[in-house]
Every structure is written in structure tokens, then in C-alpha cells.
Amino acid sequence: MIEATGITKAFNGVQVLRGVSLTLRKGEVVAVIGPSGSGKSTFLRCLNHLEIIDGGSIVVEGEALATAQAEGPSRYASDADVRRICRKMGMVFQSFNLFPHMTVLENVIEAPITVKRLPRATAIAKADALLDKVGLLAKRDNYPGRLSGGQKQRVAIARALAMEPDIMLFDEPTSALDPELTVEVLRTMRQLAEEHMTMLVVTHEMGFAREVAHRVIFMDDGRVVESADSARFFSAPQHERTRTFLGQML
Ligand SMILES: Nc1ncnc2c1ncn2[C@@H]1O[C@H](COP(=O)(O)OP(=O)(O)OP(=O)(O)O)[C@@H](O)[C@H]1O
């Protein structure tokens, strides 16, 4: 579970997040949608410390990552606690971010061995099971350069899952993919949702938001404009800006 409250963030004096709050409950799939530049990716990156927030609080699985202060910037937990708390969240990026000089298998076992100190044989057995789950066991000894974008992204998902996160954060996981490759990644994500993985997904895929997400959050200009369960969000958007956005996207 993640509880983010009143997150603010500026880059070089430009306010990008203007007080964003979100509760992501256990087993819930929440899609974050909105126009380009509205702050969706920045918000997601703030949740796992890829960006430092200016103000607001972030609590992950009951532990405070950052705490709002009466004055001045939010106070973060100690470096060791930040690292430990952030390991509860797996992250999948638009650009895959696989290590190009490592095989698929090596990509998946690297963090479990170096960070979790898993014995190599245990890490390999686990990686094989995950690669099988995402349909890529046959590619385990290939280098990422030999894979399609969709395959790379499924390896990236397996790699994140190998750390046994409680929560998965997806930052536009299909935006760099051709439509036919998007389908296979969305299938893997749908499967994860069916297994009750807690997921926060920044996406332009309205089909995913409608069919897989339990709740949809619409961001515009650094704010959450609308948050509703998926069916209600798409059948009866409450706000003019949401309606305009959906009109453009659907
Ligand atoms: N590291 C950074 N330094 C400066 N500005 C940044 C940085 N990261 C994001 N921004 C700016 O913050 C704003 C929000 O960007 P963000 O990527 O969060 O939007 P988004 O809603 O995810 O957009 P998109 O759908 O196009 O990915 C943009 O104006 C962007 O240029």
C-alpha cells in the first residue's frame, strides 16, 4: 500500500506537482492518465525516490519514506531505510533499462544476487520461473539487443518481479512499442493484475485503464483532477477537462 499526500515538486522553479495525493491499496490496480507534461511520470518517480519531493508525505507499506514538515522541505528516512523501503517497489520504465552487456538471465538474477544476497542457484531457479511466466524462458541466454521491444519489456517486468516487490510501478511501459508488441506486454500486466499484484500504471493505454485498472486517476497541470473507479470514470467523467481529454484519446 502507498499513501502519498500533498506531493509538491518543482524543477528549476517550474512547479510540476502542485499537491498530488493518492492512496494505492493492496491488490489494487490504479491507472494514472493525463495529457503530456501533466506530471504523471514525475509523480511516479517521486514515489520510489527517483526524484526528491519538495513537500508532502509518502508512506509505503506503513513505513514513512518522506514526511511533510511544518516548514521547509519534506524529511526523508535515513539512507538505509530509504533503500529498504524503495525495494518494496519494483519499477518498469518506458525505455526498458536492461543491461545490454548481460544476457536476459543475467539481467534478472543480478539484483537478487547482489542486493538480496540470494545464492546463485536459487536466483537462477527463480529467474527461470519468472522468464517462463512472461513467456521468455527460451530467450534466457540471449542479449537484450537480440530481443524485440515487447520482449525486452517483459524481461524488465521479470527483472522487477525477481526482487519480490509488494508493489509494481509502471511508467508508460508500452509507449515505446509498436501496437503488436504492446499487446504482449499488456497481457503480462493483465496476468499480474489477476494475481492481485498491487500496481500503479502511468499509461496512455485507455483500454488497459478501462479493462484492467480498478481505479483511474486523471492528472492535469500537476494536479489530480479526477479519481474514480474505472467503470464510472469512463462512463460518466465528472469534470470538463476529463471529458475533453477522453474525447481526444478514445
Ligand atoms: N528532470 C527534469 N528536469 C526538468 N524538468 C523536468 C524533469 N522531469 C520532468 N520535467 C518536466 O516536468 C513536466 C512534467 O513531466 P512528466 O514527464 O512528469 O509529465 P508526463 O505527464 O509524464 O508527460 P508524458 O505523458 O509526456 O510522459 C514537464 O514539463 C517536463 O518537462
Please choose, from the candidates 25, 41, 22, the residue with its C-alpha nearest in 3D space to the C-alpha of residue 33. Answer: 41
Nearest-angstrom CA–CA distance, 250 and 244: 10
Spatial separation of the C-alpha atoms in residues 92 and 201, rounded to whole Å: 9
User: Which pLDDT value is given to residue 249?
Assistant: 86
- CATH number attached to the domain at 27-38+79-249: 3.40.50.300
Rounded-to-integer distance, Cα 36 and Cα 44, Å:
14
Q: 212-250: string of b/e by CB count within 10 Å (b at 16+)?
A: bbebbbbbbebbbbbbbebeebbeebeeebbeebbeeee
Predicted local distance difference test score (pLDDT) of residue 178: 87
Of 8, 20, 33, 41, the one to substitute when testing ligand 1's pocket (max ligand atoms within 8 A of C-beta) is 41
Which triple of cell numbers denotes residue 77?
528516512
pLDDT at 230: 95
| Closest CA to ligand 1's atom 18 | 39
* Ranges in the chain, pLDDT < 50: none
Whole-prediction pTM: 0.95
Is the distance from CB of 65 to CB of 76 less than 8 angstroms? yes
* ipTM of model: 0.96
Q: What is the pLDDT of residue 181?
A: 87
Report pLDDT digits (tens) over 107-127: 999 999 999 999 999 999 999
**CA-based nearest residue to 6, from 70, 56, 41:** 56
Nearest CA to ligand 1 atom 27: 36
Distance 229 CA to ligand 1 centre (A): 26
